[in-house]
A and B are shown apart, each in its own frame.
Chain A
Amino acid sequence: MTSANSARRRKPFPVHILVFLAPAFIIYTLFMIYPLLDSLRLSLYAPDVNRQEVFVGLDNYERLMTNDLWQPRIEGAIKNNLVFFAIHMLVQNPIGLMLAALLSSQFIRGRAIYRTLIFTPTVLSVVLVGFIWRMILSPLWGISTDFLDLFGLAAYDKPWLGLEETALPTLSLISVWQWVGIPMMLFLAALISIPDELIEAARVDGATAWGVFWRIRFRLIMPTVGIVGVLTFVGNFNAFDLIYTTQKATAGPNYSTDILGTFFYRTFFGVQLQPGNPTMGATVAGVMFLIILAGVLLYMFGWQRRMLQVEF
């Protein structure tokens, strides 16, 4: 007995845990952490006259923030990105929540069909979505003029993607159209997991339908609201593909749709005759990383911590 016990005690190191952790740890380190750190390292270098990369400290960041060539671009990209994010937060997520609230109601028929239809665009390729919308909005072949004509509004039709004032909001709304299914699904999952007793109890106490939604259900899905917010933030500040497919890497007209992703792409890989500049590209990527990191930290310390106390 005692010898068996001590034998068990002499085997304290659980090797199998390391074995199970190893694949994820190795792959994550190799393909995520190492490239990230190496990219940050690259942002501290610059080519010298002989095109050798030499250490320059934070010079690249200073250049990005103060140089007449770079500063308007990074400022414009951040501003546009904030607009892009704001439109998603103000349009996509409330609509997602509204759809989820409707779909969680027992009085609507064909809920599965609606759910599928609304979710469908999210599984389409962004290239396809960009192309379809470019066609729909095309002043030549598009249907937007005819559609507005139905309501007698044809005079208000514009080359939406070609004007500086309208291009970014238009693209943001296309993106909202495509991705609204994601917050809808997350909200829906949270809403249907709320125990019926709570809602019934509220009804018995005389709460109106709005009261039930706003005071009970919405409060209980606050953790999901936070997750949707942070997912939108990270997704938007990493966005690139939609702008690239509809407006190309130059993010026209006149950089009005230039967000951090396209700015990074142009800087790192170059465009047409403009050769790529890997070290400045890494610097732009570094700024993107810092912005996203700041946002996520804000979420984790400002929101998620408070949320833990509300969970049932």
Chain B
Amino acid sequence: MKKLLALAVILTLVVALVPATTQAQDKVTLTIESWRNDDIAFWNDVLIPAFNAHYPDIEVIFAPAAPTEYNAALNAKLEGGTAGDLITCRPFDLSLEHFNNGYLVSLNDLPGMEHFGPVARSAWITDDGSDVFCVPMASVIHGFIYNQSIFEELGLEEPATEPEFLELLDAIKADGTYAPLSMGTVDLWEAATMGYQNIGPNYWKGEEGRLGLIDGTIGYDENGFVEAFEALARWTPYLPDGYQAISYPDSQNLFTLGMAAIFPAGSWEIGVFRGQDPDFEMGAFKPPVPEGADTCYISDHVDIAMGVNAASQHQEEAMLFMEWMTTQEFAELYSNALPGFFTLSDHAITLEDPLAQEFLSWRDECESTIRSSYQILSRGEPNNETQLWEVSAQVLNGELTPQEAADIVQSGLEAWYEPQQQ
């Protein structure tokens, strides 16, 4: 009932706004739907002026909604035909559904689309790969952020392989002053997202393993996917005391207060940590590879994109905007304004934030992949991603062995996903 009421209010507001946007005759106005209300100043002060420098006759309005309301509000607007011209795309199924319902146009022929590789496109493409419908904007990269002064104090160096990593953790633990790894399991998702999906690609060989899951040629209970759980289980002794009840904000504070040495991270933390303490000295190293491996893999997870509303009156102008979004200029502006969110295009860009630059540099050294459970595999019940949260946390808590965890996830997937049933 509450939801209906909220929808009704939103719809009334939208209807009230429509005449205002159609009145401007000489100047074409494009409205952007987005959930990134944190970025409104950056859009208005940087991106839109930069776009208008090329196309002064197109007025662009950035009209974000609250992140938690975005999905429902956008669905209602699209159904009612009142949504803006440009739609910020959530990754995977939500946007795919919009495309399948005819709300988004295909961008296969958009000039500039060639700058985006298959991993970048994977979140905004039909299951058979025939249509891409959003221009990828940014991804987040997983890795480890460490406290530089602690590393200097204890004379530590960035590890490259897993044995080095464990040695390093042992050294910090032996010193006893700091918690080696800043992470808790009570919120579940950290264990999966910053743990399993962070180090995992090195074990299941990135895209090879991920696509194997989708094809049904490999399971969670085999090879790399089990090894990743085993590697995760080795973290347990290095987590802070009482980690079973430590939440995500707790672990962030533990790290920025200098009580823990290493934070298993996603690159979005850069902005968060810089915001908490601009002078805090941090370094980063990529997920350590298993001993003997010669290729490294990173989770370069697609997060945000932009598409064109099929019902828009200004298709031509919207396409011009899309085309501009594929340029080097946009890539550089966007990635610099939001350190930790990296452009998905193949343009060579330089970032002012050294830590963000460090994360970005891994793309040249390693193979990129996305989180294993996000494409296609999280459509059924039980949800693959949710199961990974649960079992990863239990592996760290010592409640499940790596093999048991792998078996649970695999049987959950087999319960509904046909390619895995054979």
Q: A: which residues have CB within 8 A of B? A: 31, 35, 68-69, 134, 137-141, 158-164, 247-248, 250, 252-255, 271-275, 277
Contacts and interface: CB of A to CB of B under 8 A. Distances in A.
Contacts of B373: 273
Interface in B376-391: 378-379, 381-386, 389-390
A164 B386 contact: no
B242 interface: yes
Contact of A139 (B241, B386, B390): B241
Question: Which of A158, A247, A248, A253 has most chain B Cβ within 10 Å?
Answer: A253
Contacts of B397: 162, 253-254
Contacts of A252: 186-188, 390, 393
Contacts of B393: 252-254
A158 B186 CA distance: 14
A197 B245 CA distance: 55
B95 interface: no
- Shortest Cβ-Cβ A-B pairs, 6 listed: A139-B242, A162-B244, A162-B245, A159-B245, A159-B242, A274-B383
B374 A273 contact: yes
A160 B186 CA distance: 11
B246 interface: yes
A272 B390 CA distance: 13
Contacts of A138: 242, 245-246, 250
Given A162-B186, A254-B390, A273-B383, 20 more contacts: A31-B1, A138-B242, A138-B246, A138-B250, A140-B259, A159-B244, A162-B243, A162-B245, A163-B244, A248-B188, A252-B390, A253-B186, A253-B399, A254-B393, A254-B394, A254-B397, A273-B374, A273-B384, A274-B385, A275-B93
Give the interface residue-count category, chain B: 35 or more
A137 B244 CA distance: 12
A265 to B, nearest CB: 13
Nearest to A157: B242
Contact of A271 (B241, B250, B374, B386): B386
A275 B259 CA distance: 38
B185 A253 contact: yes
A274 B254 CA distance: 30
Q: Is the interface of A mostly helix, strand, loop or mixed?
A: loop
Contact of B378 (A31, A158, A274, A277): A274
A47 B31 CA distance: 34
B189 interface: yes
Nearest to A255: B390
11 contacts: A69-B381, A138-B245, A138-B246, A139-B245, A159-B246, A250-B188, A250-B386, A252-B390, A252-B393, A254-B397, A273-B386
A178 to B, nearest CB: 19
Interface string B74-87: 00000000000000
B415 interface: yes
Contacts of B288: none
Nearest to B388: A273
Contacts of B383: 272-274
A228 to B, nearest CB: 30
A20 B392 CA distance: 59
Contacts of B254: 140
Contacts of A141: 250
B246 A140 contact: yes
A162 B242 contact: yes
B264 interface: no
Given A138-B250, A140-B254, A273-B374, A69 B386 contact: no
B386 A161 contact: no
B139 to A, nearest CB: 17
Contacts of A271: 386
Contact of A274 (B189, B253, B386, B415): B386
A275 B378 CA distance: 9
Question: Which of A35, A275, A277 has most chain B Cβ within 10 Å?
Answer: A275
A139 B246 contact: yes
B240 interface: yes
Contacts of B394: 253-254
Interface in B163-218: 184-189
B399 A161 contact: no
A161 B378 contact: no
A273 B197 CA distance: 15
Question: Which of B244, B381, B383, B393 has most chain A Cβ within 10 Å?
Answer: B244
A168 to B, nearest CB: 13
